[in-house]
Amino acid sequence: MKQILSVVLLLAMGWFLVGLVPLGQPTEPGRVAQHYIDNGIDENRGANLVTSVIVNYRGFDTLGEVTVLFLSVAGAGFVLRRRDGLVRHEHRPSSEILQTGARMLFAPIVVFGAYIFVHGHLSPGGGFQGGAVIASAVMLLLLADRSHHLPHGLMHWLESMAGFGYVMAGVAGLVVAGSFLSNQGVLPLGTWNRLFSAGIIPIIYILVGLKVGTELSSLLDVMIDTGRPARQEGGRS
């Protein structure tokens, strides 16, 4: 009975979706998108229009997004805080080759992630992708050596400072140009397609990259539960 009901529901939803989307004809950009495409270079000097939209035109949205990501990570940590009843595995220490290889690969992967988010306004990529790459480097370290302790104090400080810097960049736009996260006149816009260009966009994207990288690293650390003995006072540093 339930199965039939769900199949009927899904068929109705599929019919609705097929009727909703314009099958077959390509879409032209709307008026707002056309403005971004025509004036994006003049207003922001960032070659990558997606970055301009994310960091500048819809920067407030991105500020909310990193906050949501932080809240979900904090929520996961809160849900998994008490250790009673959770499955805990005995793990053998991994081999010397694996541990040394992971430590050797850690720095190049972090540098690659930093490269991705520093060049976010010029090429595909940006803070979110670079942050994910950095988190994958941290995950490699955690998987190779389960007893590895992440520097939680440094990570929390970095994350708070990145969020604070994002808001401060917005306030600078409010003071100079009269609107939050404005890119006009805060920093020189520079020339098109150079590393030092696009005003505050690369600075904000670097901060977003640091924040997302530390957030996802703490998420992996919370999920993977490196097998430290549960502390009696609860809560983790």
Map the footprint of other proteins across residues 122-181, applying CB under 8 A: 122-126, 128-129, 132-133, 135-136, 139
> Does residue 19 sit in helix, strand or coil?
helix
The residue range among 19-27, 163-171, 175-183, 195-203 that interacts with other proteins, by the rule CB under 8 A, is 19-27
Q: Give the residue from 66, 44, 49 showing the smallest Cα distance to 209.
A: 66
Residue 89, interface with other proteins (CB under 8 A)?
yes
Using CB under 8 A as the binding rule, whether residue 72 contacts other proteins is answered as yes
Q: Is 213 exposed, middle or buried (0-12, 13-18, 19+ CB in 10 A)?
A: buried
Taking the C-alpha atoms of residue 141 and residue 98, their distance in angstroms, rounded to an integer, is: 10
Is 56 a binding residue for other proteins by CB under 8 A? The answer is no
> What CA–CA distance (Å, rounded) separates 146 from 96?
13
Contact 221, 76 (CB under 8 A): no
Site for other proteins in 21-50 (CB under 8 A): 21-24, 26-30, 32-33, 36-38, 40-41, 47-50
Q: At its nearest, how many Å lie between other proteins and the CB of residue 163? A: 15
Q: How many residues bind other proteins (CB under 8 A)?
A: 75
Q: What is the rounded CA–CA span in Å between residue 98 and residue 146?
A: 12
CB of 175 to other proteins, least distance (A): 26
Touching other proteins, residues 196-225 (CB under 8 A):
212, 216, 219-220, 222-225
